[in-house]
Every structure is written in C-alpha cells, then in structure tokens.
Amino acid sequence: MSINIFSPVNLGALRLSNRIVMAPMTRDRAGPGDVATPLMAEYYRQRASAGLIVTEGTQPSRTGKGYWRTPGMHSDAQVESWRPVADAVHRAGSQIVMQLMHVGRVAVAANRDADVEAVAPSAIASTEPVPGPDGTPATTVTPRALETGEIAGVVEEFARAARKARRAGLDGVELHCTSGYLPMQFLSTGSNHRTDAYGGTTTNRVRFVLEVLEALAGAIGADRVGFRIFPGNPYNDMQDDDPAETYAALIDAANPLGLAYLHLIHYPTPALDALALLRPRWSGPIIANNALKLGSAKALLAGGQVDAVSFGRPFIANPDLVERFRADAPLAREDRATVYTGEARGYTDYARWTADAAS
Ligand SMILES: Cc1cc2nc3c(=O)[nH]c(=O)nc-3n(C[C@H](O)[C@H](O)[C@H](O)COP(=O)(O)O)c2cc1C
C-alpha cells in the first residue's frame, strides 16, 4: 500500500500531521548556562510545518556535554528556557521531542566546564578531533572508565532529563545512540573493553542502551520515547567487530518495550542493509533518514517499510520545507559557513519560498 508523505501518522503518543520529520541538528546557539534562547524558539517555530521536530542533541548532564554552545536539560533554568520553544512549536501546529545526547568520550575540554571529567565504558580516547570553541579541530580527552556501580547513576541522568523535557512541555525524547557518543561507545567493541556485565558479549554491550531506554520509558511512558541508530557508523572513531549482530541484538531487546519509534539512519552497503536486517525484528514505527530527496523519500514510504522520513540539511535553508515539497518548489542550499556560527545569520534569516519570488 502506498503511503502519502503528507498524510498524518501516529508514532506512539506522538500525533504527526504529516510524515516529514525534522532531523536533530546541533546548531551551537545555546545561551550562557547552556539554555535554549528566544532565537532557538524562533528557529524551531519557523520549521514547525514538519510533522515532528527532533531537537538538536541536548546533554542530560554537564558530563554529557562535548560541543561548544550546545543546550542542556539538567538545570531549572534550562527547563524554563525550553518551555517557549515547545510552546512556539505547538502553537504552530507541530510536535517536538528532545534528542538526549551524552557525548561520553567525545569531549573537548575547552567546550565544557573545567570541573567535569569525561566518562566512557573504557579509558580509550577517540582518535578523531572535534571542533573547539573557535571551530578549529581540537583533541578529545582520554575518558575515565565508569565503575560498574556508577552506571545506574548515568542511566538515571537520562531519565531525569526526560522528566524535565516533559515538564518543559516537550512531547517526548529521542535517545541518541549513534555518531560515536556514549550509548554507541557501549555498543561497539572498539570502545567497550569492559569485563563486567556491560562489556564482552553482545548481550552485555547492549545492556546500557537497554537500561537507558527502560528508564526513559519508566520516566515518561514508552510511547513518548524513540531512539536513533546508524549500524556501522564509523563517525568519531567507532569500530565494531559485527554491527549486524550488535544491532540485531539491540532491536530484539528493545522491541518488547513498545517505544514510539526507531529512527534509523539508513545507509545500505553491500556488507549491511540495516533496514532489511531490522525491519522484521522491529514491530513499531520507523523513521528513516539520510540524504533523502522528496522522490527518494516517497519511494521509501511507498515500499511500506518505514512510517516517516526525516530531513536534516534541507531544513537548514528551507524553513518551509514541507510547503516547498507540497508545491514541488526548488530548494535553497544552506550556507556552510554559518551552520554553527553567526547567531541569527544563517539560522533564522532563510527566506520562505513564494511563487512570486520564483517568477
Ligand atoms: C549541522 C548538522 C548537525 C547535526 N547534528 C546532529 C545531532 O545533534 N544529532 C544527530 O543525531 N544527528 C545530527 N546530525 C545528522 C542529521 O540529523 C542527519 O542524520 C544527517 O544530516 C543526514 O540527513 P540529511 O541528508 O537529510 O541532512 C547533524 C547534521 C548536520 C548537517
């Protein structure tokens, strides 16, 4: 059965007016104290014709921060700062979930408070630099391996952040389990050399993510929790001996939780087609992402294997991406120089498309 991209869909408790999701994108515009700002509320409001907005990666704790000017969801000021963002998106008719992103070892000292240490499954540094405050690549720190007894506390940080997100009026949370951050560090053999119940076997490497998902579901309801994966993603120095086995085990373990959705970055290779591998194992909705265009997104939906599609970069320069898709209008390209800098410039000053402007 062919699915219309503009038709409504429910993902758990989330009610989408269309199947076009704004993918999470770090934009480095948070204010002092890692709060959301009025400019961020305006940015998300402009893009609220998406059926669902996933916020930029947001740290559940000070330890979880790795990048410059990223927002958090652990202080009272942060809770208050996000309320106008959620309100603006709701008034514009959309829904918004917060992406919870804990960087683990992907931590640059200059981007964080001086008194927080970096923690990870094992004391193995990433070999990939990430941008420091001035945008130039900086070396990440060598993390301290979490003690077994500390892990429950880290899991609880996520649950607390989820409750706060709901208190601020957001509709749910998405756990960031890819791009080399803490959850993926636990999943992957290259970064997880633990010998306790959180390392070694596939079941053990999956345990941390499963515990976080269970805690999130317990905190705000499973039907408001999604998670994002990209099996085999090498970003931030990730290696895994057998991503197919790891992610099959993760999905088998997470499927019974009845979560709102799985957000899959779909980049099939001859070695691994994650959608083919995971679709039969996952009974809930799937949002698919990666370099989609309107045509390829429609084709993916028509295949009946995914329920919604997400777009990242196209939403940067096209605040009215959904309207443009409806009109089959041309898309603007983002200015790369202002993706992470420039305050309002390159953020909230992209024009909406009108038929007049095109003629
Ligand atoms: C500027 C920028 C920031 C991003 N930040 C995040 C992030 O915080 N969390 C995340 O899961 N993915 C992040 N991504 C990845 C996007 O969500 C998306 O998966 C990727 O851009 C591919 O989709 P696209 O081809 O539609 O852009 C980011 C991408 C871009 C371009």
Q: Is the pTM of this model over 0.95?
A: yes
Residue to mutate (ligand 1; options 56, 100, 184, 313; most atoms within 8 A of CB): 313
List, for residues 85-110, the tens digit of each pLDDT value.
Answer: 999 999 999 999 999 999 999 999 99
What residue ranges define each of the domains in the chain, with the CATH number in brackets?
Answer: 9-358 (3.20.20.70)
**Each residue of 224-253: pLDDT tens digit?**
999 999 999 999 999 999 999 999 999 999
342 pLDDT band (50/70/90 cuts)? confident
pLDDT band at 356 (very low <50, low <70, confident <90, very high): low
In this structure, the residue with its CA closest to atom 7 of ligand 1 is 25
pLDDT given at position 354: 78
Residue 264 pairs with which residues in a beta bridge?
229, 288
Mean pLDDT of the chain: 96
Average pLDDT over residues 342-348: 94
CA distances from 305 to 76, 95, 175, 262 (A): 40, 23, 22, 12
State the average pLDDT over residues 344-356. 89
Cβ of 263 closer than 6 Å to ligand 1, yes or no, is no
Which ligand 1 atom is at minimum distance from the Cα of 230?
Answer: 19
Give the whole-number percent of the chain exceeding pLDDT 70: 98
312 CA → ligand 1 middle, Å: 5
CA 140 vs CA 13, 105, 117: distances in Å: 38, 7, 12
More confident residue, 349 or 3: 349
CB distance 339 to ligand 1 below 6 Å: yes
Handedness of CA 187, 190, 192, 194 (dihedral sign): positive
| 181 included as an active-site residue | yes
Alpha-helical segments (H) within 101-201: 151-167, 182-187
Among 44, 67, 181, 340, the active-site one is 181
Cα separation, 198 vs 196, in Å, equals 5
Non-local CB neighbours of 149 within 8 Å, separated by 6+ positions: none
CB 251 within 8 A of CB 280: no
* d(CA 56, ligand 1 centre) in Å: 9
pLDDT of residue 1: 56
pLDDT band for position 355 (cuts 50, 70, 90) = low
The residue whose C-alpha atom lies closest to atom 2 belonging to ligand 1 is 25
Half-sphere exposure of 79 (CA within 13 A, CB side): 13
For 161, 298, 310, 350, the CA distances from 316, given in Å and listed in that order, are: 26, 21, 13, 8
Residue 299's DSSP bridge partners are none
Over residues 44-64, the pLDDT tens digits come to: 999 999 999 999 999 999 999
